[in-house]
């Protein structure tokens, strides 16, 4: 039958079809024979991480757009959402830690060379937040889409560059050399930028709120890194990680490296 306008009657949208649940729920495919009971949890947690990484990237892209438009109010809500998502990532570690080391060992060998180092979205997220390390792309296929996304993120302005542009547009004295720097290179903390940040804190309440949201995001990421390290230590101790990584040793080396170092350094100026 046809609808009143002559077009075929469309199938009604449902909860399942809108969320593509049949496809989504077919993606949990343990490799263990049996399968091992706890591999399902491991897969679900890490697939969920990837969904949240996609959401964070989506939000940070919007944050940069609204900052470019000097819409501080909109950026506050967006960055607040990112911080809340990071809290969820931390909470997921609690779930993963219900799996004992012996339970993990029942399927660990099925992971082969796969490793969290191969999360293209997390590497892209790091690049959006300012990390500039071409070495991280070595885990991804030359010419592949994942590697291209990471390289593109490292070639464009990071979130902090967007914030510096906003500070300058509000009359805070960000040095021209910093604003015009090569964004493909790692940002170095700047005392001159810290002067501008201090002024914004003291004289521009709206921007001060934005800066504190950025500290929230930075702190949230550091908290997640810490919980991730302790989870790995709790599960495999000092063993090497899958994929040949150094496991907890490498992860521990990423702790206490702030994303926005100027925002931490400026506290000594108050």
pLDDT in tens, 184-235: 999 999 999 999 999 999 999 999 999 999 999 999 999 999 998 888 888 8
**CA–CA gap between residue 173 and residue 62 (Å, rounded):** 25
pLDDT value at 241 more than 60: no
Contacts of 9 (CB under 8 A, 6+ apart): 1, 2, 3
pLDDT value at 132 more than 70: yes
CA-nearest of 262, 57, 258 to 153 is 57
Find out whether 74 and 66 touch, Cβ atoms under 8 Å: yes
Find out whether 248 and 229 touch, Cβ atoms under 8 Å: yes
CA-nearest of 164, 165, 161, 151 to 183 is 161
The pTM of this model reads: 0.87
End-to-end CA distance of the chain: 73
Greater pLDDT, 103 or 61: 61
pLDDT of residue 36: 80
pLDDT in tens, 143-181: 999 999 999 999 999 999 999 999 999 999 999 999 999
């925002």: which residue's tokens? 263
* Domains along the chain with CATH numbers: 37-269 (1.20.58.480)
pLDDT in tens, 78-127: 999 999 999 999 999 999 999 988 888 888 877 755 556 689 999 999 99
pLDDT of residue 231: 87
Structure tokens at 43: 């897969």
Exposed, middle or buried, 113 (CB in 10 Å: 0-12/13-18/19+)? exposed
Exposed, middle or buried, 183 (CB in 10 Å: 0-12/13-18/19+)? middle
If DSSP states are collapsed to H, E and C, what string results for the chain?
CECCCCCECCCCCCHHHHHCHHHHCCCCCCCCCCCCCCHHHHHHHHHHHHHHHHHHHHHHHHHHHHHHCCCHHHHHHHHHHHHHHHHHHHHHHHHHCCCCHHHHHCCHHHHCCCCHHHCHHHHHHHHHCCCCCHHHHHHCCCCCHHHHHHHHHHHCCCHHHHHHHHHHHCCCCCCHHHHCCCCCCCCCCCHHHHHHHHHHHHHCHHHHHHHHHHHHHHHHHHHHHHHHHHHHHHHHCCCCCHHHCCCHHHHHHCCCCCCCHHHHHHHHHC
């Amino acid at each position: 039958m046809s609808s009143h306008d002559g077009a075929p009657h469309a199938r009604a949208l449902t909860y399942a079809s809108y969320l593509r649940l049949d496809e989504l729920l077919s993606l949990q495919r343990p490799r263990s024979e049996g399968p091992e009971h706890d591999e399902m949890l491991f897969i679900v947690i890490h697939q969920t991480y990837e969904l949240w990484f996609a959401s964070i990237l989506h939000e940070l892209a919007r944050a940069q757009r609204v900052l470019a438009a000097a819409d501080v109010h909109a950026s506050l809500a967006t960055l607040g959402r990112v911080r809340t998502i990071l809290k969820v990532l931390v909470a997921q570690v609690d779930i993963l830690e219900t799996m004992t080391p012996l339970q993990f060992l029942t399927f660990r060998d099925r992971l082969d060379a796969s490793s969290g180092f191969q999360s293209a979205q997390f590497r892209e997220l790091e690049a959006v937040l300012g990390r500039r390390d071409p070495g991280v792309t070595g885990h991804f296929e030359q010419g592949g889409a994942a590697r291209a996304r990471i390289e593109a993120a490292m070639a464009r302005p990071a979130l902090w560059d967007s914030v510096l542009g906003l500070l300058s547009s509000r009359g805070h004295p960000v040095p021209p050399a910093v604003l015009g720097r090569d964004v493909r290179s790692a940002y170095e903390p700047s005392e001159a930028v810290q002067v501008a940040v201090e002024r914004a804190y003291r004289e521009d309440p709206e921007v001060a709120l934005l800066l504190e949201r950025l500290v929230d995001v930075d702190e949230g990421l550091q908290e997640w890194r810490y919980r991730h390290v302790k989870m790995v230590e709790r599960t495999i101790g000092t063993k090497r990680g899958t994929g040949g990584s150094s496991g907890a040793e490498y992860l521990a080396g990423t702790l206490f490296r702030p994303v926005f170092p100027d925002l931490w350094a400026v506290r000594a100026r108050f």
